Amino acid sequence: MLSYNDYERTVFGYLKNYTKFRTRLKNMQLEIADKQAEIDTFGGAKVAAYGLSAGGSWSELNETERNASKLLELKTELSDMETDRRRLETLLQCLDNALESLDGISEQVIRLKLIERRQWKDVIAILETETDIHYCERNFQKILSKAVKEITGIIFGGKAEQMKLNFVFLERGNTNGQIQS
């Protein structure tokens, strides 16, 4: 089971690899189109072919069975590729939705530092000129940390948030040995 900090690290990794994920999604779409074209132009036997040899159990497949097996394998590969594409698309859409929900400065810090991988001095220079906000590096790091926590909560929900500890103090009073809370 993941602890709340593991979810934050996961989101941090997602954001650092955001550009790679976008590129991978484009490549997956090309691969899926290529696989679909391969299936569409598959030149397997369209009708059953009967040979002159007598029936019986053969350990190898005839041509019709081989072609059907190959076509089934291609369709399975295509289905797996489409499933992977949908998962990646869903992840990217969740990240986009979470980024849109942030306030302007938090979103810019996330995009500049994690997605575009700029150094802190560049992030500070860009934000100072664009927004007229003058913070030190430490304040921007706090904004980044808070934004990652917000995104984690949006993507993973309550299971990713640290639970508050509820302490119950027990007292022994003059209640004949019974515990009161």
Query: Which DSSP helix (H) or strand (E) runs through 171?
Result: strand 171-172
For 8-58, how does the pLDDT look when each residue is reduced to its tens digit (9 = 90+)? Answer: 899 999 999 999 999 999 999 999 999 999 988 887 555 555 556 655 556
pTM, whole model, 2 decimals? Answer: 0.73
Q: Which amino acid is at 2?
A: L
Distance (Å, whole) CA 128 – CA 145: 19
Sign of the Cα pseudo-torsion (20, 26, 27, 29, in order) = positive
Tokens of 164: 């508050």
